[in-house]
């Protein structure tokens, strides 16, 4: 993507960013002015030391186990409390309260400056359909198919419904292809994102409309389409009064994905047999070795023309997430940009982890948009999390994007995609305030 001149940024956003910096400067100046010349150095050292100790404690909690982990967490919690106590001990109660208020004002101004404008994707008239075919997984999302009576409601609207009766007993790909051979002119899925991706690929291959029914556990694809994840019956309204939106599809070694493919730390965790039964416990148990590089293959990623050697985690998404979302847990405001999002993370030291958590440095982080991402390793196959599914894929793994490949049928009346709530990205805020603008494809 091309460089965007700073002058194209609205003036109001520039002034919001500068107001945020002004509030921060005042927040720092208030206690320093009250402390006098003699106490300034002590206060600066106290505040800076508290921040470093807190972030370092969080990092050490992630890479440790047992008693050491609990001690690190305790240190992270106690550090800001100790700083607050020392300030109060010097008789700075009112100054602390004013500082807290100014920090709040700075956060409000920073979010106003960082909030991007949103434009909705174009809609197209939905063609008449005669034989819609829907795949429904009764186990997905804790039984939403049965809870909301989706099968009966879909059949009342004229759809043929195939239920996935048991794990591993049904070939979803073959099921959808057989339906196309019988004359299905619309395919749809009520289930998780992994099943959505499989059938979406077949719909795109045959240029058929695809219906997303949010009956999975998380349904990130439905969320980014602006559908209601809490009421999957509303998705069926598209069969009565729907419109089409055309979105991109990701491909990983020929397999379709609708959300993201993850490598390294996250993929190793998802690959663990214990992950589905105890997600939190499995993550905490495996993170120390993975972050320190004691387990897992050494990765090599090529993001278009940029080579990254030895990242601990790589996330490739079907369309970029927000610049603050390094784990693919947030939202994509558009699914029709025609590019992949790519994030490569490396934080092997406490200093690098502190910088990344503060979002004040580019060290250890590459965040780009790309048309192709190739991930290789020193082993013949590597674990990959594809839309939350744990797979082993032969190396090298090639991720590409097919712009506008999928015709998605959505209800005309739907919640829509709200503007993304921006995180406090100090690099981006600095660029807005003082005229330094990064390329859209290399946001820090």
Write phi, then psi, for 303 (nearest 5 degrees).
-105, 100
Write phi, then psi, for 389 (nearest 5 degrees).
-95, 135
Closest CA to 137 of 124, 147, 127, 123: 147
What is the Cα–Cα distance from 431 to 444, expressed in whole angstroms? 10
| 364 Ramachandran zone, left/alpha/beta (phi>0; psi -120 to 50) | left
Two structure tokens written together for 316:
């490739």
What is the model's pTM?
Answer: 0.70
Residue 312 lies in a domain: yes
Residue 106 lies in a domain: yes
**In Å, what is the CA distance from 220 to each residue of 124, 217, 255, 260?**
23, 9, 18, 10
Residue 283 lies in a domain: yes
Any idea what the CATH number is for the domain that residue 271 is in?
2.60.200.40
Residue 241 lies in a domain: no
What is the Cα–Cα distance from 322 to 320, expressed in whole angstroms? 7
Residue 361 lies in a domain: yes
Q: What is the reported pLDDT for 444? A: 32
How do the pLDDT tens digits run along the chain, 444 residues long? 333 333 355 678 888 888 888 888 888 788 777 766 556 666 667 777 888 888 788 777 777 777 888 888 898 888 888 888 877 777 777 877 888 888 889 888 888 887 766 667 788 998 888 999 999 998 888 889 999 999 999 999 999 999 987 655 468 889 999 999 999 999 999 988 889 999 999 999 999 999 999 988 778 899 889 898 888 999 999 999 999 999 999 999 999 999 999 898 767 665 555 555 555 555 556 556 555 555 667 889 999 888 888 888 888 999 988 655 554 456 787 899 999 999 887 765 555 555 555 444 455 677 888 999 999 998 999 989 898 788 899 999 999 999 999 999 999 988 877 666 666 667 777 777 776 544 333 333
Query: Of 81, 114, 147, which residue constitutes the final position of a domain?
Result: 114
Residue 97 lies in a domain: yes
Look at the chain and report how many structural domains it folds into: 2
Strand pairing of 242-252 and 299-303? Answer: unpaired
Query: Of 114, 132, 165, which residue constitutes the final position of a domain?
Result: 114
What is the Cα–Cα distance from 302 to 307, expressed in whole angstroms? 4
Residue 270 lies in a domain: yes
Residue 174 lies in a domain: no
| 423 Ramachandran zone, left/alpha/beta (phi>0; psi -120 to 50) | beta
What is the Cα–Cα distance from 232 to 213, expressed in whole angstroms? 6
Residue with tokens 């049965």: 146
Burial class (CB in 10 A: 0-12, 13-18, 19+), 130: exposed
Owning domain of residue 284: 260-403
Query: Of 114, 148, 177, which residue constitutes the final position of a domain?
Result: 114
- DSSP E strands: which ranges in 17-175? 124-125, 132-136, 160-163
Q: What is the reported pLDDT for 291? A: 59
């Amino acid at each position: 993507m091309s460089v965007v001149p700073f002058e194209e940024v609205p003036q109001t956003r520039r002034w919001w960013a500068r107001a945020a910096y002004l509030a921060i400067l005042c927040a720092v100046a208030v206690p320093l002015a009250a402390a006098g010349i003699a106490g300034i150095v002590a206060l600066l050292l106290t505040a800076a030391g508290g921040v470093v100790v807190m972030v370092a404690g969080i990092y050490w909690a992630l890479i440790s186990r047992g008693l050491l982990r609990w001690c690190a967490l305790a240190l992270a919690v106690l550090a800001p409390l100790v700083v607050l106590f020392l300030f109060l001990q010097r008789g700075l109660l009112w100054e602390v309260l004013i500082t807290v208020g100014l920090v709040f004002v700075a956060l409000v101004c920073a979010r106003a400056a960082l909030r991007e404008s949103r434009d909705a994707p174009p809609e197209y008239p939905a063609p008449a359909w005669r034989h819609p075919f829907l795949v429904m997984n009764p186990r997905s999302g804790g039984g939403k198919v049965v809870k909301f009576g989706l099968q009966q409601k879909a059949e009342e609207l004229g759809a043929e419904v195939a239920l996935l009766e048991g794990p591993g007993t049904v070939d979803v790909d073959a099921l959808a292809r057989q339906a196309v051979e019988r004359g299905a002119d619309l395919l749809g899925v009520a289930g998780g994102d992994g099943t959505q991706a499989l059938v979406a690929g077949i719909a795109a291959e045959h240029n058929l409309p695809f219906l997303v029914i949010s009956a999975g556990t998380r349904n990130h694809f439905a969320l980014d389409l602006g559908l209601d994840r809490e009421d999957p019956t509303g998705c069926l309204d598209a069969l009565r009064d729907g419109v089409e939106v055309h979105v991109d599809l990701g491909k990983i070694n020929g397999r379709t994905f609708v959300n993201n493919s993850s490598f390294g730390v996250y993929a190793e965790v998802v690959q663990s047999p214990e992950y589905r039964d105890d997600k939190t416990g499995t993550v905490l148990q495996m993170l120390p070795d993975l972050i320190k590089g004691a387990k897992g293959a050494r990765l090599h990623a090529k993001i278009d023309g940029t080579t990254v050697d030895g990242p601990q985690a790589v996330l490739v998404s079907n369309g970029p997430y927000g610049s603050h979302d390094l784990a693919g847990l947030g939202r994509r405001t558009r699914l029709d940009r025609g590019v992949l999002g790519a994030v490569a993370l490396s934080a092997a030291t406490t200093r690098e982890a502190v910088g990344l958590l503060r979002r004040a440095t580019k060290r250890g982080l590459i965040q780009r948009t790309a048309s192709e991402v190739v991930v290789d390793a020193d082993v013949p196959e590597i674990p990959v999390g594809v839309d939350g599914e744990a797979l082993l894929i032969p190396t090298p793994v090639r991720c590409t994007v097919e712009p506008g490949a999928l015709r998605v049928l959505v209800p005309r009346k739907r919640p829509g995609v709200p503007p993304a709530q921006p995180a406090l990205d100090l690099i981006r805020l600095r660029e807005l305030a003082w005229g330094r603008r990064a390329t859209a494809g290399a946001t820090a």
